[in-house]
Structure 1
Amino acid sequence: MTTHTIKFKRGIKSKLNKLAYGEPAYISDEGELYIGTENGVEKLTSNKEVKELSSQLENKANLNTVFSMANMGQDIKEAMTGGSVAVVGRNTILNENVVDKQITPSKTSFIDVENSVNLFNKNSREIQLGYYLDASGELKEYTSYFVGHKIYVNEGQTYTVSYAEPSWGGFYNSEGTFISKIGTPSGALRPFTFTVPEGACYMRLNGIISNMNTYMIVLGDSLPSQYVAFYENFTLNESVKIKDVVKLQKEYEYDIPLLQNRFVDSLNLFDKTSPEIILGSFITSASGDMSTSTSTAISPYMPVKPNEVYSFKFYPNIYGSNKNYAFYDRNKNPVEDVLNCVLDEETNVLTITVPNIDTIKYVRVNCSENDLDSFMFVKGETYPSEYISGNTVLRSNIDLNDLQKDTVSKIVNDILDTTHINSVSKLNNKVITFNGDSICAGAGYTGGYGKIIADKYNMTYENVAVSGGTITAETYSASGSARHWISRTISKMRDDADYIVLEGGVNDASLSIPLGEITSDYISTLDDTTYCGAFESMLKQALGKYPGKKIGYIMVHKMEKNFDSRYEDNHYQMSKKICEKWGIPYLDLNIECPPLNYIPSLKATYTKDGDGWHPNELGYKKYYVDKIVHWLESL
């Protein structure tokens, strides 16, 4: 058999500039094959590419290979998770790979989170004033409405909203796409209960701006009997130690003068960079009601103190005669009172005086959206002629980084505010109800010790006490009108209370109400027209209404012989014996408080108009509040 050798045209590339269509050639100086085409001379293959391809094929996994993270590209990892986040290996996430604001307190193992039953945060920056969502999820303008912030939900959950008009709100999926409306059935306006549909990730509800201060959204099919403010409490676990801050906290808690030497506040309390500024809105009343308009703005919450005077620029061309501003407590709930202000019509500087209400911690005022860079809110009647920055200065003799300075500043502000750290109290955010006489009602200071304690610990507060009240029933005033009978008003106290505080007896003692007898058992019929019968009835009712709750009785300071620890067989002694019989803890201020009615200097200083009976604000805070708090925390 004859063998024929086929040879390609060959030579160096510079000599083979032209090849016939389909004619191959070997280029010796490159070691590559070329061929003639319609478009000229083109290379057929590359030895280098063939070698690389061979190497890649050798490294590719065969059917028996187990794929690991190292085998997969980033695009495959993202595809596996729907593109939301790449699947990564262990110990492979760097700081820069974490999206800002995605690690929240609830996702950590070292921060404890406590949320209120009310899910609506009226101070959220997500709230859009002057708008509402229609039935198709479209955002529409309407001056008196607002669209609430996002509330994350789960399919099938039931929620109840306090004000369901206007009718529409909306459910959204995880990508932010509108799913369906939240509609109110005909005739069912408030409250309104609804169920989360399939595929919903979060919801936004409409509301009326004038109702914002009492607006509630709760999980479940019923609302609390009274308004509960939104809150989120974040507490570091005990395992977390911030040594420098703890040291500073202890140092400042007992040495306020030292504190004031370390921190210097700016004269201007207005921070133009604050995220709390609301553009396009303005305050319309002392209760913090808002409306919308162009060129307007509402300041952030600025710290103020009772009885102090503050000044700021007023804009009559924008607000006309509307000189409204609003005060707030430490939880940023409105504290309504008569506004006291004076306008200098030449300079347009408005000077305001903070009411003498110790729960007031902040103020918000109206300003101009176009004048934020030069706006000032200053303490005193003198408004600066030149702009002063609203930043707080930390003296250089504290060697901390910026984050630590911010943390310490917050702790310091809290100490200066109350000289007490409340974050660990058992009383925080609990519901408390009181029933008693004038000392409980607050005849010497509105709300009495109960309101002081409730405000301090952000407690939901109720007080059904009435001046002149007696524990015994069927007692009457000199005019013949019925007194407040504590033993017959237990049923009027709110059902959801965590703490139930009873007080009274001194009026019974002053009226020389017959003592009667303490029964020998727990089932006998009780005569509530005698002191002992009424007292037993009061405690028996409380125990029946509030099983497992914290119930206690307070004995007031010495002011009447029949309610005085120095004497036997009187109303005071019977009160102690009955509490001990029924197992009700009592706080004995008859012993633990000085006899305010019998010491002239104390009587003049610590009771209303020196009457010796009714503590004034100073008297409550000096002799009642701290003892009651310690007692309540021990229940």
Structure 2
Amino acid sequence: MSILDKKHILTIDLDDSSIEYSKKIFFYNTDKNISNLYVKIKKNNDDGVGVELSVNDLKDITVKLTAIKPKTNQTREMIGILTEELTDQSCAIYKFELLQEFTDQVGSVVCEFELSNASGEKVTIDAFSYRIKESKLTGLNAEIESNPDLPVLKQLIKEVKETAQTVNNIDDVNITETKTFSNKKIDEKFSTVSSQIKDKANKDEVVKKGYANLNDFDEESRLAIAGGDFNLNYVLGEDNVKTKNIADNQVTPNKTNFINIEIGVNKFNKYNATIGGYLNGSGVVVGESDLTYGYSEKIAVNGGDIIRFDRYSALVSFPGVYYVGEVAYNINTISDLTYSNEYWCCTLPSNANFVRINIKSSYIDTQMLTINQEMPLSYVPFSKTQTIDDSIKIPNSYEIRIESLENKSNANSNDSNILYNKKWAVCGDSISYGARADLDDSGIRKTYDYYIAKRNNMTIVKNAISGSTITNVSGKNSFSVDRYKNLGSDLDYITLWFGINDSGVGSSILGTISDSDNTTFYGAWNVVLDYLIRTYPTAKIGIVVTYGGSETFRNATRDIAKKWGIPIFDIMGDFSIPLFAGRESDVQTAISTFRKEQFLSDGIHPNDVGYQYLSTSFESWLRSL
């Protein structure tokens, strides 16, 4: 064991499936080959006393660690190895030498141990977490590695090494003199390399003030200045200096005034929660080594907001805290706080700006917190979408020509393929936009329509915006306002996939099937379909009955399609469509959950496997229109 190794010792208690450790566990994302976890296992003996188990006790036991990466939610697994490298050990110890894939993403890594034996018996242990901190040099390294001057520096270093090798290979009577000369050349090259590295490391590409030459002025200014190419002893204004680029991480959604960041109904992000201890009435963490409990990050609120969160809080006395500025107060002191079998509910004071809630770590996967909304009847994962502000006018639709990988003279010809070379308007929300989709080499999102168009050499007119509704709802980029009128001409196919965000707004916008006002769900469909049918009389139009959302809105979508004679692709109601993201009835819950885990990245949006899987049945339906 190296003196540099970080030795974090954890103890698993088999009797209550808990885990203990004496100090916070953290590593830096730049640590290498020193990030280790050592695990002991104990169990009560006949006298009820916890005893650490020996190697002989655990000879057929396998201990597996599963970690969830904080940014991508990817899982990584590792099997522990029995070790004897701890000099003071008197029991069996499993070592987990964390590879870079366990420490390369900054944030809180949620972990779980599983113990199993050859008989197939398994025990799952309570979750715990370790934190990955970011080295201050991380951004600097990225800046240097991405700099166009790096190849020059690498070449200089290569020349230095070659010169040094030449010295080592010399076998001559004047070796001392030769080496002295060569060492001088090496020193010169190293000085050059060092100065250039230092220059690049300290360089701020975003120039603000300094001396300028004529090249920093526009053509008119240069003509107005007499003389040649010389430095002007003049400080330019910040807005006048031309810049090569903007420093990394200077433009973010939070720093713009035209990107709206919207959190879904559940404001509790389990991946940013901290496991270990709970917040007392003053917001101070108590019992950090107790992994039974945990607490959320700060969640932004406004004064007067009504918050609701699951009853599985750490303690009745300390459900959480709200903040006024930087000062924390016990939520339990709020006068209208109510506690039911389902959740806590209270109205925040007028000057509150943040809340944090306590949780039981065993319920972290079902914990929810809502703001000014009723608690969902079933678990809704945390989600975040970004949309362009309504005041920013951008084209609603854009065309993408996706050429087939197949030879155009084969079965993809017009004679045998009804979809070949057709123009298809894909209208929808984040599912059709591809909020969690992979990108191809051209930066196009690989959604279900991408794969269909690729196979059939189609042109896609994309009119899909994350978070949007079909109903006219403020701030939702609603399709029924003007988007439906901007699909272009010569369309062969139009598909409409809406409903999940409308359902999230609530039943108050549902309306009736006779409505002609786009401020209701029924009315918006009536407005849109009447226009599309009359404007594109020969186009094949289809409606997707979405998965997710409420059954009420799905039934309304089915009713409206029946009214207008539009075929539907009913993901949750049509048993001829392969199971994708659940059914409304008659499907095993475990299988439905398994499918969702395979095809959805966050419980709502498909991943790349999901889009590919969905595309085949969607294509079959499209051909039938």
TM-score, with length taken from structure 1: 0.30
TM-score, with length taken from structure 2: 0.31
